[in-house]
């Protein structure tokens, strides 16, 4: 990790912090040491997550506060940093004041990311290392569907990113969108050619496969269904006809249209 820190910053001797707290890269943290994200990759990450003033951005392991401060200052979001090191929390608060941000627009909480609640976030940012990301993954996947997760440098285990980002200075980051849980049996109505259409969905994060029955008879299998946040889309062929469905999942309900035709609305209900 130290090697990674030195390589990432390219300058281990650089001093950070302020008059009250002199910081050096690789200052010890709880589960991972402190290393600062560079500003250009921070902007790439927040741009890719399409952060808006309506968003609530949580940076897990927020260090000197750079990500929450930028999220609030440049994108107008409400932002929260969770940081274990109390000295870094105090430094972040001073940095936020120096950036002219109102208390409430950005805040910092001393705590452990494995204990603190961040479920209200609509965007989660990370620069925490692979094993920490892997430990956080189950909690991240249970967040509200559509929540964006962006990680500087490190992937999240087997979760395939939606986007890979690269900054001008060569840093990389990854973006994911929390998928709605859709595993189970769905009953669809509105699809012509059958009274009852059933999908038995098996979900792997933002991807799914499914067996499709028309009136109780297996007619097709989907191997490349996608659930991007709350948007579900899949295609299949039956009797030489192409069916393409796209729509929104809300809880256990789907509403969308067939073949992008507004005259062909389709609805679905998750039964099991
Ligand atoms: C690599 S630094 C990233 C800092 C900041 N997010 C950034 O991008 O510049 C990781 C930070 O996580 C903090 N940290 C490590 N383990 C933590 C934990 N379990 N809970 C909260 N913070 C933690 C460290 O103190 C350090 O400040």
Q: What is the CATH number of the domain that holds 73?
A: 3.40.50.150
Any atom of ligand 1 within 6 Å of the Cβ of 129: no
pLDDT tens digits for range 220-264: 999 999 999 999 999 999 999 999 999 999 999 999 999 999 999
On whether both 161 and 263 belong to a single domain, the answer is no
Give this prediction's pTM.
0.93
Any atom of ligand 1 within 6 Å of the Cβ of 40: no
Domain termination site, one of 130, 160, 177: 177
On whether both 47 and 172 belong to a single domain, the answer is yes
The domain in which residue 43 lies consists of 2-177
On whether both 96 and 201 belong to a single domain, the answer is no
Any atom of ligand 1 within 6 Å of the Cβ of 37: yes
Residue nearest atom 24 in ligand 1 by C-alpha distance: 29
The confidence score (pLDDT) of residue 219 equals 97
On whether both 131 and 237 belong to a single domain, the answer is no
Domain termination site, one of 177, 205, 224: 177
On whether both 218 and 173 belong to a single domain, the answer is no
On whether both 27 and 143 belong to a single domain, the answer is yes
Contact 5, 14 (CB under 8 A): no
Residue nearest atom 11 in ligand 1 by C-alpha distance: 61
CATH number at residue 250: 2.40.128.120
Is the per-residue pLDDT at 1 higher than 50? no
pLDDT tens digits for range 2-59: 444 444 444 444 579 999 999 888 888 899 999 999 999 999 999 999 999 999 999 9
Residue nearest atom 12 in ligand 1 by C-alpha distance: 61
Q: How far is the CA of 34 from the centre of ligand 1 (A)?
A: 6
Contact 160, 205 (CB under 8 A): yes
On whether both 172 and 188 belong to a single domain, the answer is no
pLDDT tens digits for range 101-140: 988 899 999 999 999 999 999 999 999 999 999 999 999 9
On whether both 197 and 149 belong to a single domain, the answer is no
Number of structural domains found in the chain:
2
Any atom of ligand 1 within 6 Å of the Cβ of 42: no
Any atom of ligand 1 within 6 Å of the Cβ of 95: no
């Amino acid at each position: 990790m130290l090697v990674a820190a030195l390589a990432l910053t390219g300058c281990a001797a650089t001093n950070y912090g302020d008059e009250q707290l002199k910081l050096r890269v690789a200052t010890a943290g709880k589960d991972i040491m402190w290393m600062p994200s560079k500003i250009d990759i921070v902007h790439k990450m927040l741009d890719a997550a399409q952060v808006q003033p309506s968003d609530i951005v949580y940076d897990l392991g927020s260090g000197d506060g750079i990500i929450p401060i930028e999220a609030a200052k440049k994108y107008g979001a409400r932002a929260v940093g969770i940081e274990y090191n109390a000295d870094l929390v105090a430094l972040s608060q001073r940095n936020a004041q120096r950036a002219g941000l109102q208390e409430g627009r950005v805040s910092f909480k001393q705590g452990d990311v494995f204990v603190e609640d961040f479920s209200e976030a609509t965007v989660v940012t990370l620069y925490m290392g692979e094993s920490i990301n892997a430990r956080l993954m189950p909690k991240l996947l249970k967040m509200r569907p559509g929540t964006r997760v962006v990680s500087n440098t490190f992937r999240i285990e087997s979760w395939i990113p939606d986007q890979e980002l690269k900054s001008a200075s060569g840093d990389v980051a990854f973006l994911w969108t929390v998928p709605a849980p859709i595993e189970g049996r769905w009953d669809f109505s509105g699809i012509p050619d059958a009274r009852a259409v059933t999908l038995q969905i098996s979900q792997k994060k933002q991807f799914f496969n499914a067996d499709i029955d028309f009136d109780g008879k297996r007619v097709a299998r989907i191997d490349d269904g996608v659930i991007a946040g709350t948007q579900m889309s899949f295609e299949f062929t039956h009797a030489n006809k192409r069916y393409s469905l796209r729509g929104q999942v809300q809880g256990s309900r789907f509403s969308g249209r067939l073949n992008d035709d507004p005259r062909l609305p389709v609805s679905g209900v998750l039964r099991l």
